[in-house]
Chain A
């Protein structure tokens, strides 16, 4: 089967075609909002949407959730046109800095949202307990929302988004404001969702968190997609090269490596070199270790998401 033939059989959780939302123009005459967003998000995938502030991430989310209407273009979410209440039975949404009715406690809040899905009785109470335990809020279930910290709001925000066991979960900065332990817990929840075949559409500034978990990625800048594809393709560096990074490398030690490396820099306390073969890279690492340098990275030449992001955004400016 050809590559194109195989693509036809991939089920898409989200499919947008030239999705555009214009709010007006900036002082340079460029449209403000989102322009010509064309994305395919496969089912069962964690997909990351990143971009600087004002790049159109929240606009994209609002469009996909039917909270605002596109100026032009179209989108399907789980096969349904955006705004159709039918697909909302199968999605969950974790907003950034969630806002809830603040006179309710966690159990009442989940009971309210669960009721909107037709959950009630034992089924609802079991689901509520299960989710509050999952996000670490069961012991604090009687505290009113108005007394929550930002981290507690995020946790309950995640719990309410999972009430209906959704097939697709939209998350806007889900770990924002959380301590490192809580961030790890949320990441574990996201990974467990993927293991269960769920699709996660993740918007975040925390690029280091996105890199290891996202299979697909799109980088937005000024309302346009500047890079999109699988994480591997977006982060790919020079084909077949190996990269060695180290700190506190003495100039004399670096000189010994010069003959092995294809390219090398050593400034500001940061040493970086690229090698044609893994053998050369390993030999160079040995020299550095003997010279008491601190090796920080040795592996195939691959950019970090942060580098890819900065390069993509710079290229646009």
Chain B
């Protein structure tokens, strides 16, 4: 039993490490992405005050697609991980296992979908 909890704890340590990385990503990369898609483009502000639009992030360069993947995947992981923990602190502690299961499922589906779209676009030449 002790060895088993040790393995689970080791897994949790790595999951926490990814969560921390996600926090860095959400702090440093997410603001500019939201700015580009929700302020610059809808209100025609720099850098989308000309011909380009946010889809250029995907089609313009592989780096753009990577940026979107890292930013969205990292933020999704961090957000779900932390929100699930916040829910356990407002009286839902006894549903912790269920919350974790739902949380990781959403993370998994989200990241798989994101990766699928980007890889498909890379393969069919949408991403240059």
Say if A and B assemble together: no
